[in-house]
Chains A and B, each alone.
Chain A
Amino acid sequence: MSDGIDVGSPEEIEEGTARIVEPEESGFDEPIAVFHTETGCFFALNDICTHEEASLAEGWIEGETVECPLHSSSFDLRSGKVLGLPATEDARTHRVEVEDGRIVLYPGRDAEQAVRPSGPSAG
């Protein structure tokens, strides 16, 4: 398991958007999307949809879900659970924390709970 990596300040990822962390940066073997929801939370999933080659970071982020930009399968950002066809496999989660005003991604570690910038750090 890798240690956490600093992926920026909360303001650097606009609410309702996501930032892609490439393998060179994360040390994880696939790109990871770090999402900032309009509910003020941060989540991370493998960026590529489990169905076909599409970037979930470029999808529609609403509530705590992301809808794939290609074929509209939705995923629960908290758990990675797939919510509709055509994808049928869940997306892999990664843990994200907000520590000392920085977003810290733990590539390869499963998410435990949502993290709010103003709230206490998760587990």
Chain B
Amino acid sequence: MPLRRILVVGGGVAGFSAVRELRERGYDGELTLLSPEGLPYDRPPLSKGYLLGTEDAQKIRLVPEAWYAEHGVGLVPERASALRPSEGAVELSGGRLVPADRVLLATGSTPRRLGVAGGDTALTLRTRADADALRTALAPGARVAVVGAGLIGSEVASAAVVLGAEATLIDPVVPPLVPAVGRALAERLQGMHAERGVRTSVSVPVEITDDGGRRLVRLADGSAVEADVVVAGIGVVPETSLAEKSGLAADDGILVDAAGTTSNPAVFAAGDATRLRRPDGTLARRSEHWEAAVRSGQAAAAGLLGEAPPTFGAPWFWSDRHGVHVEAVGTLDERQAPDGRTVVRFVDGVPQAAFLLAADGRLLGCAVVDLPLMVRAARRIIDRGLVPDPAALSDPSADPRKLAR
């Protein structure tokens, strides 16, 4: 039976990328995108320009509204409440049944809650509504305690001080992000917090108390941080409830292959909600980055159409905080490079790029602060399996453009 009706559940960048890729691959049947938050938008700005107020809701839309009609995509602002494979349909939260030959679950993730007494009072940041609430709270003079100094927590703390609030970052790991960007850059980034007026506290919360409007984040080291608002940026939990209710295999993520196939051949999944099961049965770590969501949406579009998914190169992410642009491609995690080594490029004594080299000299990863051409060169070096000259990598006068050629 030809494939005539595809329903995509979830209007984040994974679901949107799948929809777009389906049309680019020539699928001309019915295509419905369930997007409970309405017109799909891009989430990375929520902790950056949107939070700072330099980008508005219109600016962060993935595409203008007219795009959906132009591409024959039915945009439905509802949730799916159940998959009904025996009826070839999906039930929406309003009770309506939408027929579908194949379904793509791109249900995303939700912020991990702070599991201590009073932890439910902490704000989290995932949706535009979350960002709106947080922006209101980040008023000049407000005292903000941010739990978790990873990418989102650091971006929120950075935005807070720009907006005139006082920020304290709480994290037990100093510096954080060593596996993501290498130790040299992680230390540089950690040092920027103090330079920009963000206090850091090396501990973990044990309790949040609210005593007549005086909110205290009590820490394991016995100290306490007084705050008007507490924000938790401690990771996300994949949204697998619809999948699990429908009997799909899941284990900290809906289990999929490289084409997004789940344990039900009529149901595919993509994005933050998923976890890759490799051909040998082992499970990969979930990826929570933007580019990975785009790619998995594209791969699942291929899978939905019974086509081979594209092969993708080394993964990439970026972060913006304290006025610098941080990027990394591949991995900087030395545990993944036995007998490998890390090479650092310094400019005027400041680390600007870090490279992880395998024992055989191949490049495994590169992280940079404000050195965009280097990470683009590195991506090509990695994907082409080239063996770069370590001296050139660390030489601040070596043009990145020449390194990948």
Contact with B along A43-81 (1 / 0, CB 8 A): 000000000100000111010000101111000000000
Q: A85 interface residue, CB < 8 Å from B?
A: yes
| Chain A residues positioned under 8 Å from B387 (CB to CB) | none
Contact partner of B373 (CB less than 8 A), chosen from A60, A71, A86, is A60
> Which residue in A16, A52, A62, A72 is a CB contact (below 8 Å) of B316?
A72
CB–CB B325/A85 < 8 A: no
Q: Does A9 contact B (CB under 8 A)?
A: no
Closest A residue to B320 using CB positions: A70
Q: Are B49 and A58 in contact (CB under 8 A)?
A: no
- A69: chain B residues at CB < 8 Å are 372-373, 376
Residues of chain B contacted by A121 (CB below 8 angstroms): none
Q: Is A60 within 8 A of B376, CB to CB?
A: yes
Interface size on A, residues (CB 8 A): 15
The distance in angstroms between the C-alpha atoms of A62 and B377, with both chains bound, is 11
Q: Mark A76-113, 1 if CB is under 8 A from B, else 0.
A: 00000000011010000000000000000000000000
Q: Does B91 contact A (CB under 8 A)?
A: no
Per the bound structure, the CA–CA distance linking A67 and B375 in Å amounts to: 12
Please give the distance in Å from B296's CB to the nearest CB on chain A. Answer: 13
- Bound-state Cα–Cα, A69 to B318, Å: 11
Cα separation A99 to B372 with both chains bound (whole Å): 34
Verify if B63 is at the interface (C-beta below 8 Å from A): yes
CB distance from B339 to the nearest CB of A (A): 31
Tell me the complex Cα distance, A85–B14, Å. Answer: 11
Is B294 positioned at the interface, with any CB of A under 8 Å from its CB?
A: yes
Q: Is the interface of A mostly helix, strand, loop or mixed?
A: loop
B288 at the interface (CB under 8 A from A): no
Cβ contacts under 8 Å, B318 to chain A: 70-71
| Cβ–Cβ contact B373 & A58, under 8 A | yes
Complex interface: chain A residues within 8 A of B376 (CB)? 59-60, 67, 69, 72
Report B125-144 CB contacts with A as 1/0, cut-off 8 Å.
00000000000000000000
| Given A69-B372, A69-B376, CB of A85 within 8 Å of CB of B401 | no
Q: A67-B376, A69-B376 are in contact. Are A88 and B401 (CB under 8 A)?
A: no
Interchain CA distance A69-B325 in the complex, whole Å: 10
> Which chain B positions have C-beta within 8 A of A88?
62-63, 67
Minimum CB–CB distance for B286 against chain A, Å: 20
For the complex, is B300 an interface residue (Cβ under 8 Å from A)? no
- Chain B, 245-300, CB within 8 A of any chain A CB: 290-291, 294
B228, CB-defined interface residue at 8 Å: no
**Interface flag for B42 (CB, 8 Å):** yes
Contact A85 B373 (CB under 8 A): no
Please, which residue of chain B has its CB at the minimum distance from the CB of A54?
B372
* Cβ-closest chain A residue relative to B373: A60
**Closest CB of chain A to B203's CB: distance in Å?**
34
List, in ascending order, chain B residues with CB within 8 A of A70's CB.
Answer: 318, 325, 372
Q: List 29 A-B pairs, Cβ < 8 Å.
A: A17-B401, A52-B49, A52-B55, A58-B373, A59-B376, A60-B372, A60-B373, A60-B376, A60-B377, A60-B401, A62-B380, A67-B376, A69-B372, A69-B373, A69-B376, A70-B318, A70-B372, A71-B318, A72-B291, A72-B376, A85-B13, A85-B17, A85-B62, A85-B294, A86-B42, A86-B44, A86-B290, A88-B62, A88-B67
A residues whose Cβ falls under 8 Å from a Cβ of B = 16-17, 52, 58-60, 62, 67, 69-72, 85-86, 88
